[in-house]
Structure 1
């Protein structure tokens, strides 16, 4: 559908650091970039972006590929939808070869259709807000009363729905969307009798965006005082919307959060929008629900520092406090701002100018421990029992912090503020920590809890210094696969490097391995691609696989060509030289080829031994034995080259 010319232009304009940086905060590490994995909940960065190669590799989840693959994996988009997103991002005009045929239309994925339908609904709601009497008189008037200008309304793509049972669904059905898709998008509600009606009617609309800016859900507020209707209704969970994974306003706030290196957390839609209107963009909302691990992980992609804004009323404070322990557990640094009694971020930001508001937030931000101590001290008064419980609650919050140094600092701070002995607080912290570990640890009777158990059957090989092979498996098949992997890695990294004068690495490896059958299907597919193109006079590189390979191929190629560790520059300063692999590529390639052949011969010998055992006649047994002896001779020759002693 999308022309080859357009695809080539998109690829030529892509900057992988730029694309990935929309979703993850990248930090430079040598010539590359690192970040916490956006695909798994990890504490130590193992996500790498290699700008010179245009690839990423996530060692935590195993995912890898180019910028297009990243967006597909992260956003759950199809290839075509990803190209459309990137074309829009880089202001590239899409050129299509032809309109979709019926067959092509059927291949257009349901997720793509859901995104398209939600975007259509958003456009309809925006049009109703500005171009209907009810929209202007009710919806737009409400937003104006809130102080939202046209720029803010457009920024958050606010809208309005008419108070009609089927206005949206009738229009959507009229242009080809189906009743089933409307239901799956959460835009209609089906009755038991089979009839249906629009979910959102007579309300102002707040679209919810994912990180790439696509609308995935809606929140809607009623403006009448109808007691039979809830004040807010929201989209249900769908294939593209999972409430626990989303923070309202993150799409609009992510760049400001990265720039400021901290994030304000508020409660509702209008709180976020009013703060943006007041010139504070690094703010997101939990949408009135308790924080989840997925939402905390989402924030950590952009910053580790959050400031929670509490409403001035006691109920608001208690509600927000419940989520702080989970935020601490997620490794975030938490500060708190308490607004004046009777105010929330929406009302308070509308009372003050931008400069005054920023200064207030700066002056009144407290460390969460100081805030919690002040709050609990007020509640407990002079009651010693309640005071003891309050202290235990504070120490419990500290116990959730994963960093032991931060825990120690907070214990010291608490000791000073409460005028209590530090060792008493530390003892209580140890008790709480031990109790939590016992709750989560599996029951292990009859053995020391600190002794590691046997590895699972599917555990990866464990390498021990000084050992040549993995401890967890000594099988010939595992050794062969390791050498196949290394062969492919060298071919991907150094195909045109000089192996010898006038002989490139690819020349030597093709000549030596052309008749070798690879066992691992992925390594076989990669080597076969090199071989086929080489025979046609073309030397491909890793980008060939990024453009033409499967998701598995892209992931493996990214992994094999990404260097996870680099020698410290301090060694160079001390004039200690570490040779680059490129400098010793001849030895690396030669050794790899010999080892692969050595293990292949051993594998063939094991096969012949099995065939001898299964032989039914002396002649058949002798035939296998003769071949076995020949293989044994080859094994000894290869072992001599490698310096390995084998039995005769």
Structure 2
């Protein structure tokens, strides 16, 4: 394990212009450098490097950070690997300290499994290119698909011979343990698991082989077409997408990922210049795979066959992508074609044009499909509309969902208010089901703990539901009925558990911007006469909303500032955040100081005009006031929506006691909305 002193030496030594310059062609502009961003596709440079602050920032796609973060993002390196990369560049000798025997053994075991898999990869490649059986069977098949040698090597394709234990003998002779071969699924009961199959290597993001898939070429009904490596310490199928290693940089640049079903589709498209493509391997998408996509882009296009099976595949698993706040589109190929066959039929240029012209928003695609199937049948049409409403409820971004609701009401031929109620009901049902599932798992965990002696670990969170752990603002414990007062928040001195920020949901972007304001402007004065700082002003006016934060991590970070103000009677300086032991503050401080707002020099130099409006970072008081009003308005608006749904529910159930309580709450919330609307100069709709 690298010592903290060595890590600090590397960070202090690394110069951002040196590290970035190894990957980006930089040109000096004054005291800074600029170039084409390596994280997205652009023709005009918007990527800037600031040597004085030792940071980079792209004003096109928003990425930014220090040299270590640059390597981690671009090359998908872990933090220790990025430190080692920089250390090699500057010839820094790293000091490493001993870790526990248990940890060391675990790391050594994983590394040895990868080494064994790498031997298998090399063995299969050698069989493909250098044996008569491999050339006549495996290489002939790949050539029939039009695959060139360079793409075979890029994807580490190979061939498993029909021998009983040829791989096993070769691996043991090379010093690999049979126990490891069995753990990886390469050997079973003393025999090679993969035999007489062409082999596809599955890589991790670092390019290391973690698993294999084998395709049989003989037409044998008794044998499965594909067989795959089993789950192991280094391979978790639900967290992997085939081709992600080869596609990662293209996905970054294009800011879009194409998803297909098969391995050969990925390879064919890659060979023909479409490199931002991965495969789901014919399985339903998982939360882990959606999280992997989110690391590289927010835009996904599903590319499927145009037959009925392809249509069903396009619908399968997309809920996972929507709940991860990804923008999903669909391209259905002409009937009878898969991506590989259609590409071969029309050529690369026509195929690329088709991807653009035939692309359709998934929600509209699904709506048109269901309505077309329903026809004029009222019952089926009603079911289709409810299904569409349930899908709309999966859209996390409230602004995006509101836009869909406006357009879909006309598309479906129903009132927008009715569609809104359908969506709210679907959201409530989903959260109720999530709560019941969580409670059921907690009860099971409690029963299991009683059966065992000694304390056991708390139950793991349910990762199968993207709504897990999401608490709607205003109702911070139990059900919504437990706390009918919108200002009722629990009082506790218990510290929140430290955690990394979860994927940003709901108001997470505003919460992050609140922290940016604290970093950038918190030390500045809000009121000269009382010496009140911006930090004091902001924290005082959001303290009652802490229970409403969507991000537990951002709530925790805000509480550290509140504690600082309480103990020091003054606001933290900017370097307090950048040097904080919690690395999340450092990342936020980098984003906060690298503002994308600049005035074009044309206003002054070309047109001779002078602007009186201050830059946002200079107009700190007005910025803080406007932000705070919008922030509070967003929270109250969401409370209103939830409470309105409860009012409708209790009215329908005839529960007049609860209905009366929540009508009073609605009146109070509406008063708060109107007061804030007057301050913002906006109009609010009556409910």
- Tell me if both proteins adopt one fold, taking TM over 0.5 as the criterion: yes
Contact 1:16 1:55 in 2 (8 A): no
* Count of aligned pairs: 481
CA shift, 1:215, in A, is: 1.6
Find the residue that maps to 1:205 and give its secondary structure: strand
Contact 2:329 2:360 in 1 (8 A): yes
- 1:354-373 Cα deviation digits (max 9, x unpaired): 11111222221112233222
Determine the C-alpha separation between the residues in 2 that align with 1:164 and 1:459: 59
Q: 1:449 to 1:295 in 2, by over 3 A?
A: farther
Q: Residue 301 of structure 1 corresponds to which residue in structure 2?
A: 295
Q: Residue 262 of structure 1 corresponds to which residue in structure 2?
A: 256
- 1:458-509 Cα deviation digits (max 9, x unpaired): 32799864989x999999xx879988xx99996998xxxxxxxxxxxxxxxx
Determine the C-alpha separation between the residues in 2 that align with 1:239 and 1:24: 33
Q: Tell me, yes or no, if structure 1 residue 286 matches structure 2 residue 280.
A: yes
Q: 1:330 to 1:204 in 2, by over 3 A?
A: same
Q: Which of residues 369, 386, 396 is equivalent to 1:392? A: 386
Find the residue that maps to 1:109 and give its secondary structure: helix
Find the residue that maps to 1:335 and give its secondary structure: strand
TM-score when normalising by structure 2: 0.59
Contact 1:118 1:215 in 2 (8 A): yes
Determine the C-alpha separation between the residues in 2 that align with 1:326 and 1:364: 23
| Structure 2 spans left out of the alignment, 5+ residues | 25-36, 95-100, 436-476, 499-514, 516-534, 547-555, 600-610, 619-687
- 1:360-410 Cα deviation digits (max 9, x unpaired): 222211122332222112321221101111111112111111112211222
Contact 1:262 1:282 in 2 (8 A): yes
Contact 1:17 1:49 in 2 (8 A): no
Q: 1:71 to 1:203 in 2, by over 3 A?
A: same
CA shift, 1:136, in A, is: 0.4
- 1:75-125 Cα deviation digits (max 9, x unpaired): 66976x9848997xx9x99999xxxxxx9x989822222222222211111
Q: Tell me, yes or no, if structure 1 residue 459 matches structure 2 residue 458.
A: no
Q: Residue 231 of structure 2 corresponds to which residue in structure 1?
A: 237
Determine the C-alpha separation between the residues in 2 that align with 1:264 and 1:365: 11
Q: 1:383 to 1:185 in 2, by over 3 A?
A: same
Determine the C-alpha separation between the residues in 1 that align with 2:371 and 2:538: 59
Contact 2:87 2:93 in 1 (8 A): no
Larger radius of gyration: 1
Determine the C-alpha separation between the residues in 1 that align with 2:614 and 2:589: 27
CA shift, 1:159, in A, is: 0.6
Determine the C-alpha separation between the residues in 2 that align with 1:173 and 1:333: 48
Contact 1:16 1:67 in 2 (8 A): no
CA shift, 1:166, in A, is: 1.8
Question: What RMSD, in angstroms, separates the aligned Cα atoms of the two structures?
Answer: 5.0
Q: Tell me, yes or no, if structure 1 residue 363 matches structure 2 residue 378.
A: no
Give matches, 1:92-107, under 5 Å.
none
Q: 1:467 to 1:415 in 2, by over 3 A?
A: closer
Mean Cα deviation higher: 336-345 or 420-429: 420-429
Determine the C-alpha separation between the residues in 2 that align with 1:109 and 1:148: 37
Contact 1:129 1:160 in 2 (8 A): yes
CA shift, 1:158, in A, is: 0.7
Q: Tell me, yes or no, if structure 1 residue 350 matches structure 2 residue 353.
A: no
Q: Residue 50 of structure 1 corresponds to which residue in structure 2?
A: 65
Find the residue that maps to 2:357 and give its secondary structure: helix
Q: Residue 133 of structure 2 corresponds to which residue in structure 1?
A: 134
Q: 1:455 to 1:278 in 2, by over 3 A?
A: farther
Q: 1:215 to 1:460 in 2, by over 3 A?
A: closer
Determine the C-alpha separation between the residues in 2 that align with 1:394 and 1:345: 28
Give matches, 1:554-593, under 5 Å.
555=583, 562=590, 564-565=592-593, 574=613
Contact 1:246 1:295 in 2 (8 A): yes
Q: Residue 503 of structure 1 corresponds to which residue in structure 2?
A: none
Contact 1:24 1:302 in 2 (8 A): no
Determine the C-alpha separation between the residues in 2 that align with 1:387 and 1:286: 31
Give matches, 1:369-448, under 5 Å.
369-440=363-434, 443-444=478-479, 446-448=482-484
TM-score when normalising by structure 1: 0.62
Q: Residue 109 of structure 1 corresponds to which residue in structure 2?
A: 108
Q: Residue 174 of structure 1 corresponds to which residue in structure 2?
A: 173
Mean Cα deviation higher: 221-230 or 327-336: 221-230
Determine the C-alpha separation between the residues in 1 that align with 2:23 and 2:567: 34
Find the residue that maps to 1:218 and give its secondary structure: strand
Contact 1:395 1:425 in 2 (8 A): yes
Contact 1:22 1:211 in 2 (8 A): no
Determine the C-alpha separation between the residues in 2 that align with 1:141 and 1:433: 53
Determine the C-alpha separation between the residues in 1 that align with 2:411 and 2:577: 60
Q: 1:17 to 1:367 in 2, by over 3 A?
A: farther
Determine the C-alpha separation between the residues in 1 that align with 2:223 and 2:92: 44
Contact 1:23 1:301 in 2 (8 A): no
Determine the C-alpha separation between the residues in 1 that align with 2:373 and 2:576: 68
Q: 1:107 to 1:395 in 2, by over 3 A?
A: closer
Contact 2:303 2:331 in 1 (8 A): yes
Contact 1:304 1:332 in 2 (8 A): yes
